[in-house]
Amino acid sequence: MALARRGAGRGLAEHWGSLKYSQALAGSPEGYVRLSAEGRETAEHYKALQSGELGVGFALTLATEILSRRYPEHFVSIIPADTALRAGWALTSRDKGHRSGYRYRPRFFAEVWKPGEPSLVIPIECKGNHSNAATSHEQLASAAAHVEAVHVGTWNETPSLVFSTELPMDGPLTIHALRAVGSGGWLGKSTGSGGRNLDEQVEERNVYPGIQPPSEGNRTPSPEPGFHIQPEHFDWFQHVLARTMAAGLTAFAGAGDATIQYLTQRQGQRHFVGFAHAATGSVQDAQVDLLKLRFVGTDHVFRLNRTRVEAFSGVAADLFDHLASGRVRQYRSEAYLRRNTWPRDTWDSEWGGPVSVQRDGSVLAMRLL
């Protein structure tokens, strides 16, 4: 969420904005996850934000688990779709280029990748509600319009995932999930391309918006609204995804200077240049040993119901060094080899709190002060 620039994840100095949800949920290893008393008492005007952001968290966790099991020899990365698409398309009136004028698009892409091979791109849309299954069914139906707005390769063959997380006032949390099957989504080699160096900057393009249906005899139908990643864009878009993923990790570690190199102007490079407001800025200036590994990143102190809590977010020191130096290929190669070797422990007694290490080498740790 560090690149999304919206909601509780729009700045690492707002750690408290998203981590407060640890107080909104209750459960145990033997039971279901459900809303806590505090979660149920959330002010009415805040309910939609709470269910939407919790819906994102649970949906992406489930999507990563599903795809990792389905493609065990690959790595799964979650990338904000708006940021990736902006490298080639103008999404709003503030963006320079041919504006699509189409407001539907997926919230995230899952990139299923392996070094040196084509990636699989899966659009993901996730919603949440505090109501019931009927509301979730409506959300799933509306989510379909978002994932169908992006086609990768062959017309109407891009697989996708849609989720609706139901957070009722009473009863367990329920995730409704649907997938669209398809043989597309793979970023094969572009025609006449010699491959790309992921360590080099990606160029910003102005792809004309629209999804091109197949020809019917001698007639070429008019494009449908949306975004079509055609075969001639495959190498370029795989380059975009790799560098956008790198930008997300450096932003998560609070390293604005390292993030700038990975984004184009339209992707939000300006957010990491110069002065950052205290509510959205962060500085990579902390080193912490967690579960016997060294991590570098940023830390913040906030309050949960009057209790002071420290949160640290960062990346394994050796992997961060590759990212800070622009070595994306080496980062991806090492992250892929180490994807199943990270500690699975969730508590570090020396740190004094819970620790979560992800397959990409990122970490989030909390402790009471």
pLDDT recorded at residue 102: 83
Q: Report how far apart, in Å, the C-alpha atoms of 304 and of each of 13, 20, 34, 56 are.
A: 15, 7, 19, 22
Cβ–Cβ < 8 Å for 283, 312: no
* DSSP one-letter code for 173: -
Q: Report how far apart, in Å, the C-alpha atoms of 224 and of each of 49, 141, 154 are.
A: 31, 19, 14
How many other CB atoms sit within 10 Å of the CB of residue 56?
A: 25
Q: What is the CA radius of gyration of the chain?
A: 21
Residues 6+ apart with CB under 8 A from 118: 186, 187, 188, 189, 234, 238
* DSSP one-letter code for 216: B
Dist CA 301 CA 369 (whole Å): 9
Cβ-count burial of 358 within 10 angstroms (0-12 exposed, 13-18 middle, 19+ buried)? middle
pLDDT recorded at residue 278: 45
Q: Report how far apart, in Å, the C-alpha atoms of 277 and of each of 1, 94, 100, 271 are.
A: 18, 21, 31, 10
Cβ–Cβ < 8 Å for 150, 81: yes
Dist CA 205 CA 186 (whole Å): 20
pLDDT recorded at residue 354: 96
The domain spans of the chain are: 7-275
Cβ–Cβ < 8 Å for 287, 313: no
3-state secondary structure of 369: coil
pLDDT digits (tens, 9 = 90+) for 121-138: 999 999 999 999 999 999
pLDDT recorded at residue 282: 62
Residues 6+ apart with CB under 8 A from 99: 90, 91, 92, 93, 209
pLDDT digits (tens, 9 = 90+) for 42-75: 877 788 888 998 999 999 999 999 999 999 999 9
**Measuring CA to CA, which residue among 122, 108, 36, 107 is closest to residue 74?**
122
Rounded to 5°, the CA angle 262-149-106 comes to 55
Q: CB-hemisphere CA count at 13 Å for 183? A: 2
pLDDT recorded at residue 277: 44
pLDDT digits (tens, 9 = 90+) for 179-229: 999 999 999 876 555 578 999 999 999 998 999 999 988 898 999 999 999
Encoding tokens for residue 257? 């200077």
What is the mean pLDDT for each group of 10 consecutive residues in the chain (369 residues)? 54 63 86 90 81 93 97 97 93 71 91 96 97 96 97 96 95 96 89 76 92 90 93 95 95 88 87 56 80 94 87 95 97 97 96 96 95
Dist CA 22 CA 254 (whole Å): 22
Share in percent of the chain as helix, strand, coil (round to 5):
30, 25, 45
